[in-house]
């Protein structure tokens, strides 16, 4: 069971990263951005957009499967970990520079997510309620 959960979390992380990379590749390929149908058609015509959609769908089904067995607290935290794990991908694939402020921000966000995860886990123990905790999950951001 434990091994299955670890594999499930890694899959979730993989799908989330795939979605974000798909978004970025599609966005770059459709430059310049403009508020018109031309840009929208250009961006929707990029194969990478489907990578993003596939990542979304994969993440959704992995998340729903994980919630059947995983404690909500750690699941909640893991579902947001791509926020930090994406940084080395951005540096390597897109040559982005991760500055000190970004590192500090990432640390703050990660600490905040851990607090929220601990609260969810504690709430489940106290109330036996596993239904909440996913309200902030899902979505491109």
Partner 1 sequence: MSTLAYLIWAMNILCDTGGQLAFKKAATVPGDGLDRWTAMAADPWLWAGIAFYVGEFVAWLAFLSLVPLSEGVLLGSINIVLIMVAGRLLFAERITRLRLAGILLVAAGVAAVGVGS
State the residues that interact with partner 1 by CB under 8 A.
Answer: 20-21, 23-24, 26-28, 30-33, 39-40, 43, 49, 80, 82-83, 86-87, 89-91, 94, 96, 98-102, 104-116, 118-119, 122-123, 132, 135-136, 138-141
Nearer to partner 1, 11 or 110 (CB): 110
Contact between residue 87 and residue 93 where contact means Cβ atoms under 8 Å apart: no
Which of residues 1 and 141 has its CB atom nearest to partner 1 in the complex?
141
CB of 61 to partner 1, least distance (A): 16
Name the burial class of residue 22, with classes exposed (0-12), middle (13-18) and buried (19+) by CB atoms within 10 angstroms of its CB.
buried
Q: Measured from the CB of residue 56, what is the shortest distance to partner 1 in angstroms?
A: 9
Residue placing its CB nearer to partner 1 in the complex, 10 or 98: 98
Residue length of the chain:
141
Phi and psi at 7, nearest 5°, equal -60, -40
User: Quick one: 10 or 28, whose CB is closer to partner 1?
Assistant: 28
For the bound state, the minimum distance from the C-beta of residue 78 to partner 1, rounded and expressed in Å, comes to 14
From the CB of 2, what's the least distance to partner 1, in Å?
26
């Amino acid at each position: 069971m434990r091994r299955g959960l670890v594999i499930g979390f890694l899959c979730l992380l993989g799908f989330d990263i795939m979605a974000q990379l798909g978004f970025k590749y599609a966005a770059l390929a459709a430059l310049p951005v403009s508020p018109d149908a031309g840009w929208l058609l250009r961006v929707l015509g990029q194969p990478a957009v489907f990578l993003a959609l596939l990542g979304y769908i994969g993440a959704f089904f992995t998340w729903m499967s994980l919630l059947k067995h995983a404690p909500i607290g750690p699941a909640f935290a893991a579902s947001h970990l791509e926020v930090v794990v994406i940084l080395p991908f951005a540096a390597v694939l897109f040559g982005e520079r991760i500055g000190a402020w970004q590192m500090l921000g990432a640390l703050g966000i990660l600490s905040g997510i851990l607090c929220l995860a601990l609260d969810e886990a504690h709430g489940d123990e106290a109330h036996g309620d596993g239904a909440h905790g996913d309200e902030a999950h899902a979505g491109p951001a």
